[in-house]
Amino acid sequence: MNQKTYWARSISKKSTYESCFIALKRQPFKLCMKKLIYFVFALTVTGCNNNEEPALETAAETAPKFIKSAHYFSSAWPVTFWQEFEEDDVSSELKQIKKDGFNTIVLVVPWRGFEIGFENEQTESNPILYERLTFVLKAIVEHNLKFILRLGFPHYHMPEAKTYALEQCIGMYTNEKTQNHWIDYLEKVSQSIKPFQESSAGILVTWEDFWCPHSLFPKWSEEKRLEMAQAMGYEKWLQQQNQNMVKVLLQQSDIRFDQIKVPLPADFSYVLYLDFIDQMFEQKVLKPAQSIFPNAAMEIRVDKLPIKQKEQYTWIGHDLHLEESNLRGTYWAPFWGAENKGELISAEQALKNFNYLLKTVSDNGNNINHLVEQFNFYDNTVHYPNNANIKPEEIDDFLLGAAPLLKKYSRGFGVWAYRDYHDSAILNGSFEMGTEGWHIDGLAEIQTQQQDQSLLMQAGSSITQRFLADKRFKLLVKYQNITLCVMANQKAVIEVKVDGVVLKEWQIEPEQNCTQISAEPFKLRVPLLFSIQAQSEVLIDEIKLFGFTQMLGLYDAEGNPAQNLDAYRKLNGLFK
């Protein structure tokens, strides 16, 4: 959910509050120009959309009448879930989720990691991860739950994939090989879920996973912005639009299309670029997904771009896919529509903001076929400490007050962090994928008990991972200390090292052990070697190394009930 908070930083004063929620509702951003910039010029251009394809058939009959969903990450986090979850825990965790009133599980399925070898014309599947996907889906069906897959998640600790998130993102808009990789991945996931298709409540792809045209390209140098505009075909697209409007927005009478760059966010022409990116996402990401998954739809972008003139802001929205017959995804957090100066807002104000959002994304209730699958009533995203939140003592009031709005304007809702999670930098920290990601010196081997794998280390043995720390942690530069947790079977002494230097000699006890070490050795922008050496025999079941904990308020990271669980159970109980 990280990228959403970037785009939701809003400037909302009483005089401009209503304009924050202005949406061009009935005509989606497709092959037509919007009624834009009326606040700048006395021009109105009405677009056309003559080549719209008929809606694909959906699998809506498999979804619950009203969806109450939870993203499932077990005791891990999204980036490492598929490596780390312990199969022995899945059944009991799903049972508890159902007991808490949820009826649908959302699974985030990384593209990079499930597929590896992106340097080749065709990628290879990681059989272990596809097997684990099958395992979880089977368990979901056995517990009489439904599932939704979010496909394309780009964040994953998997070096042998031979690519990285930004390369994948750029390639989706510019490179045929990457686009073919996307289709191959979709087809492989489709084959994996075929036996469980009757339990599918939907498939989602989201702009958040292909974020680079929004958050990166406009910040690059003029040379690189020119290069990306040419590579994406932006200049060709502009030539197909209403030329009077293009000239006005570019502020050029004679346009040299071969010199068109990705615009800066402050440029008038940026509204054209947003339209272009919305269309490219649909062509390159959504349509291929719908060709393979008939029930696929988009998690739409509900945030808006503020255009400032003097002291007034006008907010430009994205394509809300209001014509979509499949189940769309949406999201909400208290920062939406707030000033975001670190304020705490009342439940009354939060409900007012939420009401505006729901009316906007449903076209005043004309298309309520969307799921607020990230209903994040609390937000502690590390990148944006000034984001607004609801007063803690009023969160429960907000949750119960949201029920009639959700009933009226949506098909359901869900939580991202059913259980709080740590941003652990360790690859395969629970050894469920054997020793993958680890270099071993001395005598150490995998032990299997029931469905759980651990690493038995003899005295003098060590395990090491090499990684770029600033790529593994959420926001390393902000951390003073990093927490290290080790789950062990007995008392033992271990040494914790970075690049061969001992940071801590540590006596650990049976079960969970946590300690803090300095973050400074991790802040060099070069690959480092993180090591644990056993001074006596020990069986290690799990290692976590983290600086940030994503919180919501249902369960803490250890699985204990948190402050808002009872209210959320009551909210779930209001929907049958």
pLDDT digits (tens, 9 = 90+) for 271-303: 999 999 999 999 999 999 999 999 999 999 998
| DSSP-derived secondary structure letter, 24 | -
The domain total for the chain is 1
In a domain, 54, yes or no: no
Q: Is residue 256 part of a domain?
A: no
Average pLDDT over residues 206-233: 95
- Give the CATH number for residue 504: 2.60.120.260
Kindly state the average pLDDT of the residues 362-374.
Answer: 97
Give the mean pLDDT of the chain: 88
Question: pLDDT (tens digit, 9 = 90+) per residue, 444-487?
Answer: 999 998 889 999 999 999 999 999 998 898 889 889 999 999 99
Does residue 516 lie in a domain region?
Answer: yes
The values of phi and psi at residue 135, to 5°, are -60, -45
Is 495 a domain residue?
yes
Neighbouring residues of 291: CB distance < 8 A, sequence distance ≥ 6: none
Surface-to-core class of residue 64, CB atoms within 10 Å of its CB (0-12 exposed, 13-18 middle, 19+ buried): middle
Range of the domain at 507: 439-547
Asked, for residue 186, whether it belongs to a domain, the answer is no
Indicate the pTM of the whole model. 0.88
Q: What b/e string do you get for 470-479 counting C-beta neighbours within 10 Å, with b at 16 or more?
A: eebbbebeeb
pLDDT over threshold 80, residue 59? no
Contact criterion met (CB below 8 Å) for 225 and 262: yes
Per DSSP (E only), the strands in 219-323 are 296-299, 305-309, 312-316
Pairing relationship of beta strands 328-332 and 370-375 according to DSSP bridges:
parallel
| Residue 451 placed within a domain | yes
Q: Span 48-67, mean pLDDT?
A: 54
371-393 mean pLDDT: 94
Q: How many residues are listed for the chain in this entry?
A: 576
Q: How confident is the model at residue 61 (pLDDT cuts 50, 70, 90)?
A: low
Side chain identity at 4, as an amino acid letter? Answer: K
Residue tagged 């879920």 (tokens)? 193
Q: Residue 233 domain-assigned?
A: no
Residue 176 falls within a domain, yes or no? no
Closest CA to 317 of 12, 7, 50: 7
Please report, rounded to a whole number, the percentage of residues in the chain having pLDDT higher than 90.
79
Q: Which of 17, 32, 22 is nearest to 360 (CA)?
A: 22
- pLDDT, residue 556, reads 97
